Amino acid sequence: MKKLPVIAGQPSWPLNSDCVEAHLTRLGGHLGPVKFRIGEREVSPFALAPWAEEKLAPDTPPILAALRGDFFCCPFGIDRGKPYRGQATPPHGETCNSIWSLIGLRSGHGTTRLRATLEMKFRPGRVTKDIMLRDGHSAIYQRHTLEGLAGPLTLGHHPMLKFPETENSGLISTSGFSVGQVFPEPLGVPAQGSYSALKPAARFTRLDRVPLALGGHTDLSRYPARRGYDDLVQLLTRPAQPFAWTAVAFPEQGYAWFALKDPRVLNSTLLWISNGGRYAAPWNGRHTAVMGLEEITGYFDYGVAASVKRRFSVRPAHATTWPQRSDRPLVVNYIMALAAIPRGFGRVRAIVPVPGGVELRAGAARPVRAALDTGFLSCQTPA
């Protein structure tokens, strides 16, 4: 077997197109580092843990050892208390903590495709990972096919962006959400070395007006902000749209990152706002200006057992688990992409399909087009 190159501390498979240079870690299937080419520039938007090449304590979860870019979580979340029917899993599931097996990596006809697989242990089943790059597209297409795993599941993609340290350098926006809620318990526990700023369980309908624990409100649509705190909020995605999107515009850097999903499969967006609020090792207060823009089905990051029991009190009801069947594969499709934006573009207000791709719109500014295959999102046939 050919020895894998070690990238930022992890043996990783490289894959490339004319617009993207990416790496996938064998441990946990974390996608990163990634360079996107837009015009004459290369942009690396994803976060990489500052301890990536350090020697960590033996009991450090693999997810933290590999932490970078984006990874697929199954089951999504952390067991707090008893796991569902004794099916214990590491934080965010086996898919981002276990060793993946490569099936193949090939290029041809303008497409590069990596395929890997993981046999699951917490339940009988298999997850197959497909990552595709297409020439001419500054985008990454991901497909995870779940077979077996019968019973309720929580699922999610966990992309993490590293923002410039300048305050409010990034502008966050999403497609329609019905309501948002802050993590229902105090996320910050100083005795455990963590601090949070938002009011636990507070509800909101606008990202720019979210209650603070000490009174008043804050703006979650601009970041970095609230240095020294980590917070978590969940946005319930409106299902009646051809695709749902999350975007971050970086006006000074001249680009926008955006992600597309099928809201029938991943029905919420979880914002993990990590700006130095964790002081236990290996965090040590140095994980700053990072935001996880996570597309999930679950109840915050509580894991399967709690997500089975808890529901959001909204109408129509909002599912917090996926009812996986053993006789029907589930296909989870997800796209991440970059687009250059001109000076004065500002915040992404809409992403709409157009022939050959999508159009990013921002008020009075001239729309920006990006080459993309949005039909990929609705394909439910295993690749």
* Residue 180 DSSP SS3: strand
pTM of the model: 0.96
Angle at 72 between CA 68 and CA 75, to 5 degrees: 125
DSSP 119-153: EETTTTEEEEEEEEEETT--EEEEEEEEEE--EEE
Summary mean pLDDT of the chain: 95
Digit-coded pLDDT (tens) for 171-195: 999 999 999 999 999 888 887 889 9
Q: How confident is the model at residue 342 (pLDDT cuts 50, 70, 90)?
A: very high
Cα 217 to Cα 199: distance, rounded to the nearest angstrom: 9
| Distance (Å, whole) CA 12 – CA 30 | 9
Convert the pLDDT of each residue in 258-284 to its tens digit.
999 999 999 999 999 999 999 999 999
pLDDT digits (tens, 9 = 90+) for 71-84: 999 999 998 889 99
pLDDT, average across residues 130-157:
98
Return the pLDDT at 102.
98
DSSP H or E stretch at residue 304: helix 304-309
Q: Is 377 helix (H, G, I), strand (E, B) or coil?
A: helix
| Per-residue pLDDT at 81 | 84
Which CATH number describes the domain made up of 6-378? 2.70.98.10
Check residue 193 and give its pLDDT. Answer: 87
Sheet with 31-38, strands from edge to edge, namely: 6-7, 10-16, 20-25, 31-38, 41-43
- Domain range list for the chain: 6-378
For residue 1, name the pLDDT band (cuts at 50, 70, 90).
low
